[in-house]
Amino acid sequence: MKRARKAVLLLLSTIFSIAAVAQRHNILNENIRSLQVVANQDWLALPIIEVGNGVLDINFDDLSTEYHRYTYSLQHCESNWKPSTSLFESDYVDGFANGNTIDDVTPSLLTNTAYTHYHLRLPNSNCQPKLSGNYLLTIYDDNDNVAIKVCFMVKEPFTKSMGVGLNIVTNTDATINNAHQQVEMELKYNSYNVTNPQSQIKTVLLQNKRWDNARWNVKPQYVMNDGLRWSHNANYIFWAGNEYRKFEILSTNVAATGIERILWDGKHYNAYPFISLPRPNYLYDEDADGAFLIRNSDNNNINTESDYVLVHFQLSCPQFTNGDVYVNGDWTYDRFLPQYKLIYDDQSKSYKAVIPLKLGYYSYQYVLVDENGNAEIAPTEGNYYQTENSYQALVYYREQGGRTDKLVGYTAVKFKIK
């Protein structure tokens, strides 16, 4: 048994995401800040709406006082996020898939950092997605340059869905009640006709909505007439990590949760979260698994009256030689970009970064990224089986002779130790 567990650990050390980063939001205009993509006002969940039901809100700021005419296009994608080239626009959208403008535009009010806020809601009178699956919404500036790429999903209604069940265990095939969590998954076809599951069914399993370490199309152990089952599958073992760190900045005058002090330097407000220290033990703390929420102390006109502050991150620890340290959360869109990288300071013996953020609640963790771009939880965070991670499963189906992948199953669970 010990030999088998060592083999699984070796396999885990070599697992990496096989998909491109097309499924992650992407900001390509340096003036754009605070992109939020929220379905049905649930800021903790993946951006998923049902066919014919629900709303998707897209909010972002342009750090300019000038109005810019932003337009958008909508593209249906397959389960691997490649464009659905076999479909016509009329197959997946009612209205117009291209040339739509974002008309809900409001300048900031009484903020030190001036900006213009843009809001788009789908569906709207010009554009209504009508086919389940993955969608890429591309936003263009007034010079027709791509400014933002937004990824979201549309799923079949509950009555037309496959049944998806998840169970999380800590007695894993890698370790027993130690550093890992293992997912068991069961899929019921319900009314769908599946004759060749290998070609007709595609699956994605996420931990804490992270796409950078997603598990794609893992082969099930059990193939049944009415469904599939994954049990004791090494590819469904995840490092458990620790609870996310968090802070809240609700005002430029008063330090809130997780903030030691806020200072004015004559030009900018500067917020200093308490210095992050290594976590040698599991630390329970109710968190949001990387999610963020724009808000202010008055909860009034949060999108246009919330200011920007320079947030000074500091992680006190020895310097690592096997990778770079990044701060990661939903608000970094699982992208390990220079603006989220911490630089080691020899004098203070710590990693530091200064990141401009809008007032609100932020949860985050530190990750270590190697030279190949593979990320793992930084050693300072630790891996503890008790960690209350969330897991999300997406199931896609293509009927025999069908032209596209439909999103027919989705579930999300929050692991809590019993």
Q: What pLDDT is attached to residue 347?
A: 98
Report the 10 Å Cβ neighbour count for 111.
16
Q: What pLDDT is attached to residue 111?
A: 96
CATH class of 31-155: mainly beta
Q: What pLDDT is attached to residue 18?
A: 41
Q: What pLDDT is attached to residue 417?
A: 87
Q: What pLDDT is attached to residue 9?
A: 47
Residue 67 to residue 88: CA distance in whole angstroms: 33
Residue 8: DSSP 8-state? H
Give the global pTM: 0.94
Peptide bond into 83 cis (omega under 30): no
Query: CA 111 → CA 114, 301, 303, 304, 308, distances in Å?
Result: 6, 12, 11, 8, 8
Where are the CATH 2.60.40.10 domain residues in the chain? Answer: 2-18+159-240+387-414, 31-155
Tell me which residue of 192, 167, 100, 126 sits closest to 397, measured CA to CA: 192
Q: What pLDDT is attached to residue 17?
A: 41
Joined together, the tokens standing for residue 173 give 């095939």
290: region left, alpha or beta (phi > 0 left; psi from -120 to 50 alpha): left
Q: Please name the fold of domain 2-18+159-240+387-414.
A: Immunoglobulin-like (2.60.40)
263: region left, alpha or beta (phi > 0 left; psi from -120 to 50 alpha): beta
Q: What pLDDT is attached to residue 299?
A: 74
Report the 10 Å Cβ neighbour count for 302.
17
Low-confidence ranges of the chain (pLDDT < 70): 1-22
Which CATH architecture describes the domain 245-377? Sandwich (2.60)
